[in-house]
């Protein structure tokens, strides 16, 4: 369980260090796979002088925000704010913990697993209901794996990618509620990546496409990220929807 805290602390410190080196930006979800995507810096927001009386004030607040972001990205949400604050206060004050030190990490891990299981159950049920409805829609094909797709347009090329190929794509990823979690289309820049490095739903689906085609995929959790939390947007067990345009194969 110490690995949970180590990753959390490291993530927080890395976030703070990176923020010193560049303007704050929303971290993209590396959705298709290990794809590095540049983000555009957000506009600077002036500090509220009436609230922050010193650099310690602003740094303390900033660290609190980073901690919350990291916890949320690990699926540790919701938390009881009053208890969380008391834990921090007691820890800084050097007070004896209300929970034995040897089981602190166990408490965190157990709660994280509980939340993950609950979120996964809800998301998977919603995904199954969604796919059942999509299966009735004309033009939607359901494959034995559970992957569903519909063709928006077919390309004129005959080339289809293999797992050993690098593909160039434009994609737009949403959840079943319509929330966008990642989109090369919105960034205005397509991405290239080895097809063998991405989620199984992409691997299966893109091998069916020809260059120039644009398809919409409905990818169940078992072909996406399973019961993992991915960033703050993709909950465990989530079904993912992608519009993918295959631009090239290498």
* Spatial separation of the C-alpha atoms in residues 109 and 104, rounded to whole Å: 9
Known active-site residue 225: yes
Known active-site residue 242: yes
Known active-site residue 181: yes
Query: Closest by alpha carbon to 179, among 234, 219, 128?
Result: 234
* Spatial separation of the C-alpha atoms in residues 203 and 62, rounded to whole Å: 40
Of the residues 149, 181, 217, 218, only one is catalytic, namely 181
Of the residues 108, 176, 199, 219, only one is catalytic, namely 199
Query: Closest by alpha carbon to 247, among 189, 180, 183, 204?
Result: 189
Of the residues 149, 171, 193, 218, only one is catalytic, namely 171
Known active-site residue 171: yes
Of the residues 108, 176, 225, 234, only one is catalytic, namely 225
Residues with Cβ within 8 Å of 68's Cβ and at least 6 positions away in sequence, in order, are: none
Of the residues 130, 149, 218, 242, only one is catalytic, namely 242
Residues with Cβ within 8 Å of 44's Cβ and at least 6 positions away in sequence, in order, are: 23
Residue burial 5-37, b: 16+ Cβ < 10 Å; e: rest: eeebeebbeebeeeeeeeeeeeebbebbeebeb
Of the residues 108, 130, 149, 182, only one is catalytic, namely 182
Catalytic machinery residues: 171, 181-182, 199, 225, 242
């Amino acid at each position: 369980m110490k690995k949970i805290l180590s990753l959390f602390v490291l993530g927080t410190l890395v976030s703070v260090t990176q923020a010193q080196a560049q303007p704050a930006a929303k971290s993209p979800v590396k959705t298709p796979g290990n794809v590095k995507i540049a983000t555009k810096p957000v506009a600077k927001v002036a500090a509220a002088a009436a609230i922050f009386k010193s650099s310690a004030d602003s740094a303390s607040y900033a660290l609190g925000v980073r901690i919350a972001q990291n916890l949320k990205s690990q699926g540790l949400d919701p938390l009881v704010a009053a208890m969380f604050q008391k834990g921090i206060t007691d820890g800084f004050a050097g007070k004896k913990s209300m929970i034995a030190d040897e089981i602190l990490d166990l408490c965190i891990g157990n709660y994280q697993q509980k939340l993950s299981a609950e979120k996964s159950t809800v998301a998977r049920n919603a995904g199954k209901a969604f796919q059942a409805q999509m299966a009735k829609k004309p033009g939607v094909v359901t494959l034995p794996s559970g992957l569903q797709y519909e063709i928006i347009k077919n390309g004129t090329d005959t080339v289809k990618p293999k797992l050993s190929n690098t593909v160039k794509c434009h994609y737009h990823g949403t959840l079943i509620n319509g929330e966008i979690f990642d989109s090369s289309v919105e960034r205005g820049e397509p991405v290239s990546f080895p097809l063998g490095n991405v989620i199984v739903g992409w691997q299966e689906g893109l091998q069916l496409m020809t260059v120039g085609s644009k398809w919409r995929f409905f990818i169940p959790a078992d072909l996406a990220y399973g019961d993992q939390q991915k960033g703050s947007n993709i909950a465990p067990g989530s079904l993912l929807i992608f519009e993918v345009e295959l631009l090239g194969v290498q």
